Amino acid sequence: MRINIESVRKKEAANSIKFDYRVEESEKNNYKILLGAKEVGFINIIGEISQKNGLVAIDYEIEANFLAECARCGKETWQTVETGGEKYIADKSEEDEKAGGDFYFTETDGILELSDFIVEFLGVEIPYRYLCFDDCQGLCQKCGKDLNEGGCSCQKKEKNPAFKILDDFFEKKE
């Protein structure tokens, strides 16, 4: 979704632009790689673009819901990631003079492309790995049993073969 922000930039009336955008079905595949997802349920962005301190600002909230694989047990799990905040909007031509801070630079003068904005600010909030729940036990490293469903009969502590000589030495002394 593209939003023309020129009316806000030029202070025409007491202009602000409110938006509520839900990523369309046809666009969801574009976000699978960013989210590390098997399927995207929804991605929403709501907010308002207005003048603040003589600059164009965007107050936003982004929410994404998607199906991912648990890093410990491999089960598919629905995840939700949320982020929000406020950024000032400037054209790419102003990047040198306004570098750093809370600025978001648009590629085209006066146009804000919400899908680019979502990628930039949702991407920062995505966890390194997903878990089906916080204390997921994962899989047994020997037999592959899901430890969330109960224990397995594998030997819990295996001796490190690098220390076999020391183990043998101490067994002889006893």
Q: Where are the domains of the chain?
A: 2-136, 138-174
CB 147 within 8 A of CB 139: yes
Would you say residue 144 has pLDDT above 80? yes
Per-residue pLDDT for 174 more than 80?
A: no
The Cα 130–Cα 69 span in angstroms is 7
Residue type, 76: E
> Tens of pLDDT along 34-79?
888 889 999 999 999 988 877 888 899 999 999 999 999 999 999 9
Interior angle at CA 102, CA 62 and CA 10, nearest 5 = 90
**Among candidate residues 118, 116, 107, the one with its CA nearest the CA of residue 45:** 118
% of the chain at pLDDT higher than 90: 32
Residue 10: pLDDT above 80? no
Q: Please say if the pLDDT value at position 120 is more than 80.
A: yes
How much is the mean pLDDT over the chain?
Answer: 83
Of the given ranges (42-46, 101-105, 144-148), which has the lowest mean pLDDT? Answer: 101-105
Q: How sure is the predictor about 139, in pLDDT bands with cuts at 50, 70 and 90?
A: very high
What is the arithmetic mean of pLDDT over 150-163?
78
**Total residue length of the chain:** 174
CB 119, CB 34: distance < 8 Å: yes
pLDDT at 20: 94
Phi-psi region of 130 (alpha: psi -120 to 50; beta: other; left: phi over 0): beta
Cβ 121 vs Cβ 62: under 8 Å:
yes
**Residue 64: its pLDDT value, please?**
93
Among 53-57, 58-62, 131-135, 136-140, name the one with the lowest average pLDDT.
Answer: 53-57
Q: What pLDDT shows up at residue 12?
A: 59
Strand pairing report for 103-106 and 76-91: parallel
Question: Which of 169, 172, 64, 56 is CA-nearest to residue 119?
Answer: 64
What does each C-alpha distance from 69 to 39, 44, 82, 126 come to in angstroms? 10, 22, 18, 14
Say if pTM beats, i.e. exceeds, 0.95.
no
Give burial (CB, 10 Å; 0-12/13-18/19+) of 55. middle
